[in-house]
Structure formats: structure tokens, C-alpha cells
Amino acid sequence: MVAFLGLAPIPEIIQNQIVPVLPLWALVSFGAYLLGKLGYGVLTFNDVPQAHAELMKEIDEARADLKKKGVEVD
């Protein structure tokens, strides 16, 4: 905030050309970080065998419950 108001003794070229684009640069950097984190999460999604086993167990339980209620399940 001090840099935007010009209260800090910063050289004029930095004050006029760099400080105004810092919020945009921060937003783009944060977005790139989040996209990288999301990509890594998708890349390592299949590396969780416990979750896969738990999900398959829940699917089997749901199928059994639906068959008890008379619903045909493939």
C-alpha cells in the first residue's frame, strides 16, 4: 500500500512501471500455482489403492442394498 501511494522512497522508474503491475503479477502467479497443484493432484489420483478398495466396497454394498429393494443392477 505504501508503494502504491508513493510514500516509500522508491526510484521513479520502479514506482511508475513495476509497482502498478504487481497485483496482476501476484494474481497470475497464484493462479499458476493452483493450476500446478491441481495438475499434480490429477496426475497422482490413481496412487491411492486404499481409497479404491474402499470405493469398490461401497459400490458392492450399494448394489446389494438395491437388490434387496428389488432394483435390477448390472
DSSP string for residues in 13-49: HHHHHTGGGHHHHHHHHHHHHHHHHHHHHHHTTT--H
Identity of residue 73: V
pLDDT reading at 10 higher than 90 = no
Higher pLDDT, 61 or 9: 61
Task: Give how far Cα 32 sits from Cα of 19, 21, 23, 52, 59, Å.
Answer: 20, 16, 14, 29, 36
- Write down the pLDDT at residue 64: 93
